[in-house]
Each structure stands twice: as C-alpha cells, then as structure tokens.
Structure 1
Amino acid sequence: MSDEKKTPMRDEQVVKKNVEHASSEILDIMTLQGKVTQSGASATPCSSYSPEDEVHRLRHPWSIYGVPSEDLKKAMDRLRKQLPAKGWKIVKDGHDKSQAKLPQIVAESPDGHMSADLRLWLEPSDSRRSSMIEVTVVSDCFRSSPGSTSGTG
C-alpha cells in the first residue's frame, strides 16, 4: 500500500509514555482536587487502514469528577489559556455535535503527533450524576517499530 510507506514507524512504548505525559500535563493545568478515572493509553486500529496494515493509534480516555461545576468551568478556562502557552494549538473551542451541545476544546500538541479532546459535562444540581471534564488524548496513526511491544493484543 502506498499509505503504508507514509505512516510513520514509532516505538509504541515511547508513544504511550508521551500520550500519558500529555494527559498528566492537562490534569496539572486544571489544578482540580477531584476523583480521576484510572486508565492507561491503549491501542486502537486506525479506521482508514485495513487490519493487515497493523496501523494503530494510542487513546487515553479519562475524566475528573466530584468537583463543583464552577470549579470545572474555571478549569476549562485555564485550559484555554495555558494549553497555547505550552505550545498546544486550539483547533476548536465551542460546542460538540451531541444533542447536549457540550462545551468542547480540541487541541493539537506542539509536535503535531497528538490531539486532546476536552468536554465539560454539567449536570443539574438535583441530578444523581456528577459533573465532570472528560479528556481523551490520542496519538496520530503509526506502525510499531520492530521489537516494540504492541498493545493491540
């Protein structure tokens, strides 16, 4: 395939470390004391390639909750200001396409190899559910270099 030669080959452990570091940096910017869902970055196939191409990306979804709604709003404002100061480029700042029209920030990393999708879920005060910021950091598509451990299996 001609696209296969264009797809970068990278060490998956290095990509995973970079994705999880970016997630940690985003959490630090928020400066919130709340509960954080625990997960690590995991490999998912890139949909524009066939499975035989073994092209994938790493996704690290997590959220922070158990924080007053006003504090979550202030954290989103901090992200708007501090992500660009750290070299991230905000490519979207508005509402997502869901029926709920959630406030959403989408940013690209300084090196262009990752993106972050940040969404603010505000629940009514009488709701049993907790308001939260949902974060997904995703690497670009790559092929694992030989000897690199793949998280796809």
Structure 2
Amino acid sequence: MKNVKICLVGSSGGHLSHLYMLKPFWKDKNRFWVTFDKEDARSLLEGEKMYPCFYPTNRSIKALIKNTIIAWRVLRKENPDIIISSGAAVAVPFFYLGKLRGAKLIYIEVFDRIDKPTMTGKMVYPIVDKFIVQWEEQKKVYPKAINLGSIF
C-alpha cells in the first residue's frame, strides 16, 4: 500500500480539515493535494506537494471549466491510484477525469449534513468506488454508502 499514489482534493477550510484528519492513513504514502491557494491551506499543508485550483467554485460554470483544465493537467502529470475528497465542487472534475484514467475514487460526505445530500455528493455518488458517510441517517440518502462514523 505504500507504493500507492494518492490525490487528496478539496476546498480549503472545513473540507480540507476533514482530509487532513485522515493523516494516520495518508502520512506514509506518496501523496499530493489539490486545494485553494489560501492562507489556511498554505499553512496546514506546509511542506506538502500542493496544486492550486480555481475558486470560488459555488455553482460556477467558469470555475468548473477552469478546474476541469487543472484536473486534466494534474492527473496526467501525477497519475494517482486513488483520489479522495470530502468536497466541495473542485472534487467533481477530478473524480470524473480520474475515473476515466482508472483511479479509485473515495468520497467522504461532510459531517454537518445529516439528512440531506450535498450537491457534490449527489454528483459523484454514481461513479465512486467507496462513498463514506459519518452518520447512519445519511445512508437513507446514499444507500450504497459505508458508515465509518465521525472523523472528528
């Protein structure tokens, strides 16, 4: 498992914090990050390989197009085996292009959505290899999901 290359992709802020909490899993693996080039991300990921993506992403076609181009370039260069995300919108082009390139996709639905799906969750659910939720109630929304409990 140490030779596996992992792409951790997500917005800065809470989504990035979620991914960072998985450190016991990724700390000894070949990895790189894709997130917003913002102070919190630069600080948290100091010393990590990081690719900046375009923001703001909220329901923006312009951002989707720009991030799809970034995803194409980054995925061609890095060729990850696994792509992991907890959202938000920047995950969508990385997941769809990553799927085409043969990467395994793992999506973790955010902690604060208990009984309603997120937009990103709905968009990637049909193509992911593992969809992880943190509340049993979320399995009503995502029946194929695996509940691993809270990351916190």
Question: What TM-score do the two structures reach when normalised by structure 2?
Answer: 0.28
> Which of the pair is proportionally richer in helix?
2
- Which structure ranks higher in relative contact order (CA pairs < 8 Å, sequence separation ≥ 6)? 1
Question: What TM-score do the two structures reach when normalised by structure 1?
Answer: 0.28
> Which of the pair is proportionally richer in strand?
1
